[in-house]
Chains A and B, each alone.
Chain A
Amino acid sequence: MTDQLEALYRARLPEFRRVAAAIAGDRELGCDAVQEAFAKAVRNARSFRGTGSLEAWVWRIVVNAARDARRRRPVLAEPSDHGTNGHTPVLPLELLTERQREIVFLHYYADLDYAAIAEALAISPGTVGATLTAARQTLRGALQEVQT
Protein backbone atom coordinates (compact mmCIF):
# COMPACT_ATOMS: atom_id res chain seq x y z
CA MET A 1 0.00 0.00 0.00
CA THR A 2 2.82 2.43 0.79
CA ASP A 3 4.21 1.86 -2.70
CA GLN A 4 0.84 2.65 -4.23
CA LEU A 5 0.64 5.83 -2.18
CA GLU A 6 4.15 6.76 -3.26
CA ALA A 7 3.24 6.19 -6.91
CA LEU A 8 0.16 8.37 -6.51
CA TYR A 9 2.22 11.06 -4.76
CA ARG A 10 4.77 11.12 -7.57
CA ALA A 11 2.13 11.00 -10.31
CA ARG A 12 -0.24 13.69 -9.05
CA LEU A 13 1.75 15.88 -6.66
CA PRO A 14 1.34 19.17 -8.63
CA GLU A 15 -2.44 18.74 -8.65
CA PHE A 16 -2.59 17.80 -4.96
CA ARG A 17 -0.51 20.85 -4.08
CA ARG A 18 -2.51 23.21 -6.24
CA VAL A 19 -5.85 22.17 -4.80
CA ALA A 20 -4.52 22.20 -1.24
CA ALA A 21 -2.97 25.64 -1.75
CA ALA A 22 -6.25 26.97 -3.12
CA ILE A 23 -8.25 25.60 -0.18
CA ALA A 24 -5.68 26.63 2.42
CA GLY A 25 -5.29 30.06 0.83
CA ASP A 26 -1.51 29.84 0.87
CA ARG A 27 1.00 27.94 -1.28
CA GLU A 28 3.30 26.90 1.57
CA LEU A 29 0.44 25.83 3.78
CA GLY A 30 -0.96 23.87 0.85
CA CYS A 31 2.32 22.04 0.28
CA ASP A 32 2.58 21.28 3.98
CA ALA A 33 -1.00 20.04 4.04
CA VAL A 34 -0.24 17.60 1.22
CA GLN A 35 2.79 16.24 3.09
CA GLU A 36 0.70 15.84 6.24
CA ALA A 37 -2.13 14.24 4.31
CA PHE A 38 0.08 11.62 2.70
CA ALA A 39 1.76 10.94 6.05
CA LYS A 40 -1.69 10.34 7.51
CA ALA A 41 -2.57 8.10 4.57
CA VAL A 42 0.60 6.04 5.15
CA ARG A 43 -0.18 5.75 8.87
CA ASN A 44 -3.81 4.81 8.27
CA ALA A 45 -3.35 2.71 5.14
CA ARG A 46 -5.06 -0.22 6.81
CA SER A 47 -8.27 1.77 7.19
CA PHE A 48 -8.58 2.00 3.39
CA ARG A 49 -11.22 -0.61 2.69
CA GLY A 50 -10.71 -0.76 -1.03
CA THR A 51 -14.39 -0.17 -1.77
CA GLY A 52 -13.62 3.06 -3.67
CA SER A 53 -10.53 4.25 -5.46
CA LEU A 54 -7.32 4.88 -3.54
CA GLU A 55 -6.98 8.27 -5.21
CA ALA A 56 -10.41 9.42 -4.03
CA TRP A 57 -9.57 8.28 -0.50
CA VAL A 58 -6.34 10.32 -0.59
CA TRP A 59 -8.11 13.35 -2.08
CA ARG A 60 -10.48 13.32 0.88
CA ILE A 61 -7.56 13.31 3.31
CA VAL A 62 -5.82 16.11 1.37
CA VAL A 63 -8.95 18.27 1.33
CA ASN A 64 -9.41 17.79 5.07
CA ALA A 65 -5.77 18.64 5.75
CA ALA A 66 -6.05 21.78 3.62
CA ARG A 67 -9.23 22.82 5.46
CA ASP A 68 -7.40 22.40 8.77
CA ALA A 69 -4.48 24.45 7.45
CA ARG A 70 -6.84 27.22 6.38
CA ARG A 71 -8.41 27.32 9.84
CA ARG A 72 -4.99 27.57 11.49
CA ARG A 73 -3.79 30.23 9.05
CA PRO A 74 -3.05 33.63 10.63
CA VAL A 75 -5.80 36.10 9.74
CA LEU A 76 -4.53 38.99 7.65
CA ALA A 77 -6.40 42.08 6.59
CA GLU A 78 -7.49 41.60 3.01
CA PRO A 79 -8.89 44.16 0.62
CA SER A 80 -12.63 43.67 0.39
CA ASP A 81 -13.17 45.74 -2.76
CA HIS A 82 -12.75 43.77 -5.93
CA GLY A 83 -13.26 46.78 -8.18
CA THR A 84 -10.86 46.72 -11.10
CA ASN A 85 -9.72 50.32 -11.35
CA GLY A 86 -8.49 49.39 -14.77
CA HIS A 87 -6.63 46.31 -13.52
CA THR A 88 -7.31 42.67 -14.28
CA PRO A 89 -10.29 41.47 -12.27
CA VAL A 90 -9.82 38.81 -9.60
CA LEU A 91 -12.18 35.96 -8.84
CA PRO A 92 -14.57 36.91 -6.04
CA LEU A 93 -14.30 33.50 -4.40
CA GLU A 94 -15.67 34.80 -1.12
CA LEU A 95 -19.07 34.79 -2.82
CA LEU A 96 -18.91 31.01 -2.94
CA THR A 97 -19.55 28.60 -0.11
CA GLU A 98 -16.68 26.45 1.15
CA ARG A 99 -18.18 23.43 -0.61
CA GLN A 100 -18.54 25.35 -3.90
CA ARG A 101 -14.92 26.51 -3.74
CA GLU A 102 -13.64 22.99 -3.08
CA ILE A 103 -15.58 21.58 -6.00
CA VAL A 104 -14.35 24.35 -8.32
CA PHE A 105 -10.74 23.69 -7.27
CA LEU A 106 -11.02 19.91 -7.61
CA HIS A 107 -12.61 20.28 -11.03
CA TYR A 108 -10.33 22.91 -12.54
CA TYR A 109 -7.01 22.29 -10.81
CA ALA A 110 -7.08 18.50 -10.47
CA ASP A 111 -9.16 17.84 -13.59
CA LEU A 112 -11.39 15.45 -11.63
CA ASP A 113 -14.74 14.51 -13.14
CA TYR A 114 -18.01 14.66 -11.22
CA ALA A 115 -17.82 11.03 -10.09
CA ALA A 116 -14.28 11.41 -8.73
CA ILE A 117 -15.14 14.65 -6.92
CA ALA A 118 -18.26 13.03 -5.50
CA GLU A 119 -16.19 10.14 -4.17
CA ALA A 120 -13.57 12.45 -2.72
CA LEU A 121 -16.09 14.65 -0.92
CA ALA A 122 -18.53 11.85 -0.05
CA ILE A 123 -21.45 13.46 -1.88
CA SER A 124 -23.46 12.45 -4.94
CA PRO A 125 -22.34 13.25 -8.51
CA GLY A 126 -25.61 15.11 -9.00
CA THR A 127 -24.79 17.39 -6.09
CA VAL A 128 -21.36 18.02 -7.61
CA GLY A 129 -22.90 19.04 -10.95
CA ALA A 130 -25.51 21.29 -9.37
CA THR A 131 -23.00 22.91 -7.04
CA LEU A 132 -20.53 23.53 -9.85
CA THR A 133 -23.23 25.09 -12.04
CA ALA A 134 -24.30 27.38 -9.21
CA ALA A 135 -20.69 28.37 -8.52
CA ARG A 136 -20.07 29.19 -12.18
CA GLN A 137 -23.22 31.32 -12.34
CA THR A 138 -22.22 33.22 -9.22
CA LEU A 139 -18.71 33.88 -10.48
CA ARG A 140 -19.79 34.84 -14.00
CA GLY A 141 -22.43 37.19 -12.63
CA ALA A 142 -19.94 38.82 -10.29
CA LEU A 143 -17.33 39.17 -13.05
CA GLN A 144 -19.83 40.79 -15.39
CA GLU A 145 -20.78 43.24 -12.67
CA VAL A 146 -17.15 44.12 -12.12
CA GLN A 147 -16.35 44.49 -15.80
CA THR A 148 -19.38 46.60 -16.76
Chain B
Amino acid sequence: MIELLDELVPPFAGDGDWNDVLRRAGRRSRRPVLLAAAVFAVAAVVVGPALGVLLTRHTVPQLPKEADKKNIVVIMQPLTGRIVVQAAPWKGHDGICYVLLFKRAACVPRTARGTEVVTPPIAGYTFDSRVVAGTAVTFSGKHVPLQVVHFPKLNVTFFLRKGRLPAFFARATLTDASGKVVARYTFKH
Protein backbone atom coordinates (compact mmCIF):
# COMPACT_ATOMS: atom_id res chain seq x y z
CA MET B 1 0.00 0.00 0.00
CA ILE B 2 2.86 2.36 0.80
CA GLU B 3 4.37 1.71 -2.63
CA LEU B 4 1.05 2.57 -4.23
CA LEU B 5 0.83 5.77 -2.21
CA ASP B 6 4.33 6.66 -3.37
CA GLU B 7 3.26 6.16 -6.97
CA LEU B 8 0.06 8.13 -6.46
CA VAL B 9 1.89 11.36 -5.60
CA PRO B 10 5.64 11.12 -6.21
CA PRO B 11 7.80 13.22 -3.88
CA PHE B 12 8.44 16.87 -4.67
CA ALA B 13 11.83 18.51 -4.97
CA GLY B 14 12.86 22.15 -5.02
CA ASP B 15 13.20 25.04 -2.64
CA GLY B 16 9.94 26.82 -3.44
CA ASP B 17 9.55 30.57 -3.70
CA TRP B 18 9.18 32.39 -0.39
CA ASN B 19 9.08 35.75 -2.13
CA ASP B 20 5.98 34.58 -3.98
CA VAL B 21 4.40 33.81 -0.60
CA LEU B 22 5.21 37.31 0.61
CA ARG B 23 3.84 38.84 -2.59
CA ARG B 24 0.60 36.92 -2.20
CA ALA B 25 0.43 38.02 1.42
CA GLY B 26 0.78 41.62 0.33
CA ARG B 27 4.14 41.96 2.02
CA ARG B 28 7.11 43.68 0.47
CA SER B 29 9.23 41.16 -1.38
CA ARG B 30 12.88 40.79 -0.54
CA ARG B 31 13.68 40.65 -4.23
CA PRO B 32 14.83 44.30 -4.50
CA VAL B 33 17.23 43.67 -1.63
CA LEU B 34 18.50 40.53 -3.31
CA LEU B 35 18.82 42.39 -6.61
CA ALA B 36 20.84 45.12 -4.93
CA ALA B 37 22.99 42.47 -3.29
CA ALA B 38 23.51 40.77 -6.63
CA VAL B 39 24.55 44.06 -8.27
CA PHE B 40 26.91 44.73 -5.39
CA ALA B 41 28.27 41.20 -5.71
CA VAL B 42 29.01 41.71 -9.39
CA ALA B 43 30.80 44.95 -8.58
CA ALA B 44 32.73 43.20 -5.86
CA VAL B 45 33.85 40.51 -8.29
CA VAL B 46 35.36 43.26 -10.41
CA VAL B 47 37.03 44.82 -7.38
CA GLY B 48 38.36 41.72 -5.70
CA PRO B 49 38.03 38.06 -6.63
CA ALA B 50 38.19 36.80 -3.04
CA LEU B 51 35.36 39.07 -1.89
CA GLY B 52 33.48 38.14 -5.03
CA VAL B 53 33.56 34.46 -4.17
CA LEU B 54 32.22 35.24 -0.72
CA LEU B 55 29.36 37.40 -1.93
CA THR B 56 28.21 35.23 -4.81
CA ARG B 57 28.08 32.06 -2.77
CA HIS B 58 24.57 30.67 -3.28
CA THR B 59 24.32 27.93 -0.72
CA VAL B 60 23.18 28.86 2.75
CA PRO B 61 23.44 26.01 5.24
CA GLN B 62 20.03 24.54 5.98
CA LEU B 63 18.89 22.04 8.57
CA PRO B 64 20.11 18.64 7.24
CA LYS B 65 17.45 16.38 5.77
CA GLU B 66 18.29 13.76 8.40
CA ALA B 67 16.71 16.05 11.00
CA ASP B 68 13.35 15.09 12.48
CA LYS B 69 11.62 18.20 11.25
CA LYS B 70 8.49 17.56 13.27
CA ASN B 71 10.40 18.54 16.37
CA ILE B 72 12.32 21.65 15.38
CA VAL B 73 13.29 24.15 18.06
CA VAL B 74 14.53 27.63 17.28
CA ILE B 75 16.21 30.61 18.92
CA MET B 76 15.17 33.99 17.62
CA GLN B 77 17.02 37.28 18.01
CA PRO B 78 14.67 39.38 20.15
CA LEU B 79 15.43 42.64 18.36
CA THR B 80 15.21 41.49 14.74
CA GLY B 81 13.09 38.35 15.03
CA ARG B 82 15.71 36.57 12.94
CA ILE B 83 16.10 32.85 13.57
CA VAL B 84 19.71 32.27 14.59
CA VAL B 85 19.56 28.63 15.70
CA GLN B 86 17.49 25.71 14.48
CA ALA B 87 17.84 22.23 15.94
CA ALA B 88 15.98 18.94 15.80
CA PRO B 89 16.53 15.31 16.76
CA TRP B 90 18.71 13.31 14.38
CA LYS B 91 16.47 10.63 12.84
CA GLY B 92 17.58 7.14 13.76
CA HIS B 93 20.45 8.37 15.93
CA ASP B 94 21.02 9.58 19.45
CA GLY B 95 22.05 13.08 18.53
CA ILE B 96 20.90 16.33 16.99
CA CYS B 97 20.93 18.15 13.69
CA TYR B 98 21.37 21.90 13.80
CA VAL B 99 21.96 25.14 11.90
CA LEU B 100 23.93 27.84 13.70
CA LEU B 101 23.38 31.39 12.45
CA PHE B 102 22.93 29.86 8.97
CA LYS B 103 26.69 29.55 8.96
CA ARG B 104 27.21 25.94 9.97
CA ALA B 105 24.89 22.94 9.72
CA ALA B 106 25.52 19.35 10.77
CA CYS B 107 24.17 16.28 12.51
CA VAL B 108 26.19 15.20 15.53
CA PRO B 109 25.99 12.21 17.89
CA ARG B 110 25.37 12.82 21.58
CA THR B 111 28.37 12.51 23.83
CA ALA B 112 28.38 13.27 27.55
CA ARG B 113 30.59 16.37 27.33
CA GLY B 114 30.31 17.05 23.57
CA THR B 115 30.65 20.75 22.81
CA GLU B 116 31.27 22.76 19.66
CA VAL B 117 31.99 26.46 19.30
CA VAL B 118 31.81 28.46 16.08
CA THR B 119 33.45 31.88 15.76
CA PRO B 120 32.98 34.59 14.70
CA PRO B 121 30.37 35.39 15.86
CA ILE B 122 30.56 33.16 18.88
CA ALA B 123 27.91 30.44 19.05
CA GLY B 124 27.77 26.77 19.82
CA TYR B 125 26.14 23.88 21.58
CA THR B 126 26.95 21.51 24.39
CA PHE B 127 25.51 18.21 25.58
CA ASP B 128 27.02 18.86 29.01
CA SER B 129 23.91 19.16 31.15
CA ARG B 130 25.78 21.08 33.85
CA VAL B 131 26.11 24.21 31.69
CA VAL B 132 23.71 27.00 32.65
CA ALA B 133 25.67 30.13 31.80
CA GLY B 134 28.47 31.37 29.59
CA THR B 135 30.81 34.33 29.30
CA ALA B 136 32.97 35.53 26.44
CA VAL B 137 35.99 37.81 26.88
CA THR B 138 36.99 40.37 24.27
CA PHE B 139 40.63 41.01 23.37
CA SER B 140 40.45 44.15 25.52
CA GLY B 141 39.44 42.05 28.51
CA LYS B 142 35.76 42.95 28.64
CA HIS B 143 33.52 40.14 29.92
CA VAL B 144 30.18 39.75 28.17
CA PRO B 145 27.50 37.22 29.16
CA LEU B 146 26.34 34.77 26.52
CA GLN B 147 22.74 33.85 25.87
CA VAL B 148 22.36 30.25 27.03
CA VAL B 149 19.26 28.27 26.06
CA HIS B 150 18.60 24.70 27.15
CA PHE B 151 16.17 22.56 25.14
CA PRO B 152 14.94 19.77 27.44
CA LYS B 153 13.29 17.88 24.56
CA LEU B 154 16.64 17.56 22.78
CA ASN B 155 18.69 17.60 25.97
CA VAL B 156 21.13 20.06 24.48
CA THR B 157 22.16 23.60 25.39
CA PHE B 158 22.96 26.28 22.82
CA PHE B 159 24.91 29.42 23.57
CA LEU B 160 25.51 32.51 21.48
CA ARG B 161 26.31 36.18 21.74
CA LYS B 162 23.50 38.52 22.77
CA GLY B 163 22.42 41.25 20.38
CA ARG B 164 25.16 43.45 19.00
CA LEU B 165 28.18 42.42 20.97
CA PRO B 166 31.69 42.52 19.50
CA ALA B 167 32.12 39.66 17.06
CA PHE B 168 35.68 38.73 17.99
CA PHE B 169 36.52 37.18 21.33
CA ALA B 170 39.73 35.96 22.87
CA ARG B 171 38.19 33.28 25.02
CA ALA B 172 34.94 31.95 26.43
CA THR B 173 33.88 29.90 29.41
CA LEU B 174 30.80 27.83 30.19
CA THR B 175 29.79 27.50 33.83
CA ASP B 176 27.48 25.38 35.96
CA ALA B 177 24.83 26.56 38.44
CA SER B 178 27.41 27.23 41.16
CA GLY B 179 29.54 29.35 38.83
CA LYS B 180 32.20 26.70 38.42
CA VAL B 181 33.83 26.65 35.00
CA VAL B 182 33.07 23.38 33.20
CA ALA B 183 34.50 24.28 29.77
CA ARG B 184 37.02 26.86 28.60
CA TYR B 185 37.91 27.91 25.03
CA THR B 186 40.65 30.11 23.61
CA PHE B 187 40.27 31.57 20.11
CA LYS B 188 42.84 32.72 17.60
CA HIS B 189 41.49 35.03 14.93
Hey, which chain A residues are within 8 Å of B86, CB to CB? Answer: 7, 11
Most interface-central of B14, B24, B83, B86 (chain A CB within 10 A): B24
Tell me the interface secondary structure of chain A in the complex: helix
Confirm or deny: A96 has a beta carbon within 8 angstroms of a beta carbon on chain B: no
Distance to closest chain B CB from A73 (angstroms): 15
Judge whether A7 and B21 touch: CB under 8 Å.
no
Does A109 have its Cβ within 8 Å of any Cβ on chain B?
Answer: yes
Contact at B5–A104, with CB atoms within 8 Å? yes
Interface string of B8-27 (1 = CB under 8 A from A): 11011111111011111111
Q: Is B2 an interface residue (CB 8 A)?
A: yes
Nearest 4 Cβ contacts at the A-B interface:
A39-B24, A42-B25, A39-B25, A17-B12
Say if the beta carbon of B34 comes within 8 Å of chain A: no
Least distance between B149 CB and chain A CB atoms (Å): 15
Task: Judge whether B21 and A3 touch: CB under 8 Å.
Answer: no
- Residues on A close to B: CB < 8 A? 1-4, 6-14, 17-18, 21-22, 27, 30-31, 34-36, 38-40, 42-43, 55, 88-91, 93, 104-105, 108-109, 111-113, 116, 136, 139-140, 143
Evaluate whether A108 and B81 lie within 8 angstroms (CB atoms) in the complex, with A13-B16, A18-B12 already known: no
Q: Shortest beta-carbon distance, A135 to chain B, in Å?
A: 10
Q: For residue A14, which residues in chain B have a CB less than 8 angstroms away from its CB?
A: 11-14
Contacts of B15 in A (CB 8 A): 10, 13
Interface size counted on chain B using CB atoms at 8 A: 35
Q: List 21 A-B contacts (CB under 8 A).
A: A4-B74, A7-B83, A7-B86, A10-B16, A10-B62, A11-B63, A14-B11, A17-B12, A18-B11, A31-B12, A36-B24, A39-B21, A39-B22, A43-B26, A55-B72, A90-B7, A108-B2, A108-B5, A116-B70, A139-B1, A143-B1
Query: How far apart are A58's CB and chain B's nearest CB, in angstroms?
Result: 11
Interface centre among B20, B26, B62, B70 (most CB of A within 10 A): B70
B24 touching A140 by the CB < 8 A rule? Answer: no
Contact of A42 among B9, B22, B69, B82 (CB under 8 A): B22
Q: How far is the CA of A17 from the CA of B13 in the complex (A)?
A: 9
**A11 contacts B5, CB within 8 Å?**
no
B37 at the interface (CB under 8 A from A): no
Q: Which residues of A contact B18 (CB under 8 A)?
A: 6, 9-10
Contact (Cβ within 8 A) B25 A43: yes
Cα-based distance from A27 to B4 in the complex (angstroms): 17
Q: Contacts A42-B21, A42-B25: A11 and B8 contacting too (C-beta < 8 A)?
A: no
